[in-house]
Every structure is written in C-alpha cells, then in structure tokens.
C-alpha cells in the first residue's frame, strides 16, 4: 500500500517542539539509533527519545564532542561510525547486531550541506555519499534488528532543499558535470525522500515503515560551509566575531533546535502514523504534494515522491555500495 501525500491534521504545527510531539508516549524498553545524535537537532532528538524512556545509541566521529553535548541525558550509548567509510558502517552494524537487541527506531539525521567538492575514499561526492549512501548501507546492515522489532520505524532527514535538484542518475557523483554545491545538496535530500519510499515498500511485510522529514530552517553546525553570500541569501548578515543579524522575515521562518527535532520524533513515535509510511513530512504532519516550481514555504515536489525514481535510486545505491538489501 502506498500512502498519499495528504496531511492528516495531526494537531501539531511548525512551532511544536520535540517534547510536544512525544508527550504522553512511553518508550520504555525501546531502542533507537540516531545518526548525528550529538549535534544540532540530533541532540534534541536524542533528548526527547531518552526522556520518553528509550535507550538511544548515538554513532559518533568525535567522541569528546558527543560526551560534552549529551552530558546529563540518560540511557545514551556511544559507538564509533563514519558514514563515508563502508567498513566503519559494517563494524558499527555488526556491533549492534551482536547485542541481540531489536531496533525500534532508526533516525538518519546526520548530514553535510553545501560543502566544497570533496570525495570519499571511493571517489563518491561526499554529500551524496554521506547524506544518502552511508545511510542506505547502515539501514541495510541493521535490517535484521529492524525486522526483529516487529513494528520499527525509519526516519530519513531530508530537507526543503530537495527542491534544488532531482537525482541525476547518469552522473550522481559529478564526474562529468560541473560541481554545484547546492545541486549536490538538493540531489542528496531528494535521495533521502526517495529512499524512504523504497524502504517503506520493501519493509511493510516485516512491519518496518519509513518516512522522510523536512525539519525546518535552523541555524546549526550544518551551516559551517556557507559563505557570507549564502547567509545573505537567507536574510542573515554574519559578523567577524561570529554574531549574526537575522532579518524579521527570516526570523519568522526559522525554527529553533527543539522545534527542528519535532517532526523526526513525531514520525518515529506517533501512533497516528500506524499503518502509514513512505511519505515526506514537515511541521509534524504529512506534507502536501505541490507542483514543481512551487515557491511556498511548505510542500514536497513531485520528483521527491516518484516511485519509479525511488526504484532507480535503489538499484543505483545497491550498485554503488555493493550492498544488496534483502527485506
């Protein structure tokens, strides 16, 4: 069954926080993995799940930073992972599977945005590699634990930036075309949305449902690669001392990290989504489908909801990772 891109009128909105989204939900005994769970909205995602009773495994590249950012949050486990390194992904997954635990929630939140052209050890462009391919392989390797949960949810953190570009299946790694950091970012975020469609279709028989999420516009470590001109385009003036002046219009459209984590938490836990999946969500609701070129603040473009493109991406991802996904 394919879920339509139709809002379900959840009762939440753009200003709802992660705590709002999870209020009254008991996650005692549940296990979650949150990539990027020690930075930006990932910290608030980890905090909300923990406060509801879940044990949260946070993959880390920088352990000291993770320990500092997550200090005081209960039931957090740290384990090393680099999403650009296939062997590190396998080691992380093998370590979790060896614990014998089911995995009830996998929130793929880690990412990079608008970086200069950089390639991983295989020669793959890092935004496509880290934002999509690494999470594809991680999810595939963790599949036995997801199926074991008998009702798991996977959340792929996408972005309104999916509107910047579809997936270029002929040249996903910018080997032939000129590199554009925003098209690369948009392609990776479209890939996140298409991955949720493909995974949801394959996972339903095992009780695994998948969702993609636009968390909102938020100032976090994700903006570290942006230039002054990039900030100006978003209505922000950055000062040499690190301070920022944000226009009134941008202030109205930006979220804080607690609000930014809300939709991921909602998709991972809310019972109103039981029996649904494969949809792009924002502001704690299923997002409406809007025409390509639509410039309004909400809505998902058709190329991020195309089931045929999702199948093409699945085949390409298996080829590039060498990782066959057997649901």
- Would you please indicate which residues are annotated as catalytic (active-site) residues? 185
**Can you give 135-190 as a three-state secondary structure string?**
HHHHHHHCHHHHHHCCCCEEEEECCHHHHHCCCCCCCCCCCCCCCCHHHHHHHHHH
Residue-by-residue DSSP string for 69-93: HTTT-SSEEEEE--TT-HHHHHHHH
CA atoms within 13 A on the CB side of 293: 0
Q: Locate tokens 């998709």: which residue?
A: 267
Tokens of 195: 């991955």
Question: Is the Cβ–Cβ distance between 111 and 155 less than 8 Å?
Answer: no
Buried b (16+ CB within 10 A) or exposed e, 256-292: ebbbbbbbbbbbbbbeebeebbbbbbbbbbbbbbbee
| Beta-carbon contacts of residue 48 (< 8 Å; ≥ 6 apart) | 18, 19, 21, 22, 261, 265
CA atoms within 13 A on the CB side of 172: 24
In angstroms, rounded to a whole number, what is the distance separating the alpha carbons of residues 127 and 136? Answer: 13
In angstroms, rounded to a whole number, what is the distance separating the alpha carbons of residues 299 and 7? Answer: 10
Tokens of 115: 């970086």
In angstroms, rounded to a whole number, what is the distance separating the alpha carbons of residues 207 and 284? Answer: 22
Cβ neighbours, 10 Å, residue 80: 14
In angstroms, rounded to a whole number, what is the distance separating the alpha carbons of residues 4 and 2? Answer: 6
Cβ neighbours, 10 Å, residue 172: 22
């Amino acid at each position: 069954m394919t879920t339509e891109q139709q809002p379900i009128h959840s009762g939440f909105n753009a200003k709802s926080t992660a705590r709002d989204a999870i209020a009254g939900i008991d996650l005692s005994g549940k296990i979650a993995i949150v990539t990027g769970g020690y930075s930006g909205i990932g910290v608030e995602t980890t905090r909300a799940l923990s406060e509801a009773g879940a044990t949260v495994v946070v993959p880390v590249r920088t352990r000291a930073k993770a320990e500092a950012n997550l200090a005081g949050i209960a039931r957090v486990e740290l384990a090393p992972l680099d999403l650009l390194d296939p062997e590190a992904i396998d080691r992380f997954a093998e370590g979790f599977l060896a614990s014998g635990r089911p995995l009830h929630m996998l929130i793929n939140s880690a990412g990079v945005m608008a970086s200069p052209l950089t390639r991983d050890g295989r020669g793959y462009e890092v935004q496509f590699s880290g934002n999509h391919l690494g999470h594809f392989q991680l999810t595939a390797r963790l599949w036995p634990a997801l199926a074991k949960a008998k009702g798991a949810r996977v959340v792929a953190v996408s972005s309104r930036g999916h509107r910047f570009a579809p997936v270029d299946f002929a040249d996903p790694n910018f080997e032939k075309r000129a590199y554009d950091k925003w098209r690369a970012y948009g392609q990776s975020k479209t890939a996140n949305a298409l991955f949720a469609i493909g995974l949801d279709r394959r996972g339903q028989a095992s009780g695994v449902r998948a969702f993609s999420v636009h968390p909102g516009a938020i100032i976090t470590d994700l903006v570290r690669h942006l230039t002054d001109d990039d900030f100006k385009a978003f209505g922000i003036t950055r000062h040499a001392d690190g301070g920022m002046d944000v226009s009134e219009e941008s202030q109205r459209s930006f979220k804080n990290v607690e609000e930014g984590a809300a939709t991921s938490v909602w998709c991972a836990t809310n019972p109103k989504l039981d029996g649904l999946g494969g949809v792009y969500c924002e502001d704690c609701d299923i997002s409406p489908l809007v025409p390509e070129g639509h410039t309004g603040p909400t809505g998902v473009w058709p190329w991020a909801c195309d089931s045929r493109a999702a199948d093409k991406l699945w085949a390409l991802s298996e080829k590039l990772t060498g990782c066959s996904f057997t649901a």
